[in-house]
Chains A and B, each alone.
Chain A
Amino acid sequence: MKTSEILECISRVLFPFILLYGFYIIINGHLTPGGGFQGGAILATAVLISYFIYPDKIRDLNLLIKLEKYVFIIILLFASASLLTKGEIFTSFLPIDTNVNLKSVFLVNLNLFIGIKVSIGLILVFSTFIEEGK
């Protein structure tokens, strides 16, 4: 696959900014519009752009599959930790009368895990398609 030099140069410039924007969307998901799913899609777009820069680079798909499974298990454990503290499954594990600033720790962590999981899933989808098209 041969890409044009202008597109490659613009991709090199834009790549770190797209990564930064994706992490910004994920981490500020509880303050501004955005969140895990949207930020994960933006991170996957950054990796898709890196296919323009290095077309022949082969990624280890088995490692990504393993990583996605483990992150999903971490999300399940993190979400069901409220069974021990509150007695209800799938809510925040902090008590209801905690300080509001402390409560956002749960939201930021869960947003980060969901963002990583969604971005790995989308990377796997188009990496499989690109491998298939070769």
Chain B
Amino acid sequence: MIKKSMLILMLFILLIIFINISFHAINNIDTSSKDYYLYNTYSDTGSKNIVTGIYLDYRLFDSIFEASILIIAVSGIIFMSKKDDEVL
């Protein structure tokens, strides 16, 4: 009972904080990084699609670690599915 009431209280406080921050952020949005990507991506990376320009040039380390996460997940699935007498 105490745990449940504490959980509900925590969720309620989180909701209040989230509403406060989102209403605060509507009034003063900082658009400097958005404007930079909007005006400079095509000349910097040669990509008309800004998303591709970001994930293959500005943040290429991010997509490389994303690909490595997939290879780790696949190796984990293959390790789980092996029988005991088989050697990987």
Contact = CB atoms under 8 A, between A and B. Distances in A.
Interface stretch (A3-11, A15-23, A50-58, A89-97): A89-97
Nearest to B75: A65
A121 to B, nearest CB: 5
A72 B52 CA distance: 19
What is the interface residue range for chain A against chain B?
35 or more
B56 A90 contact: no
B81 to A, nearest CB: 5
Interface residues of B, number: 30
B67 A72 contact: yes
Contacts of B55: 35
B78 A107 contact: no
A91 B49 CA distance: 17
Contact of A121 (B47, B58, B60, B70): B70
A69 B71 contact: yes
B77 A128 contact: yes
Contacts of B71: 68-69, 72, 117, 121
Given A117-B67, A125-B77, A31 B46 contact: no
Given A91-B57, A106-B57, A128-B78, 14 more contacts: A30-B56, A31-B49, A35-B49, A69-B71, A72-B68, A76-B64, A90-B60, A100-B43, A107-B45, A107-B56, A110-B56, A117-B71, A128-B77, A131-B81
5 contacts: A30-B56, A103-B47, A104-B46, A124-B77, A125-B73
Interface of B: 42-49, 51-53, 55-58, 60-61, 63-64, 66-68, 70-71, 73-75, 77-78, 81
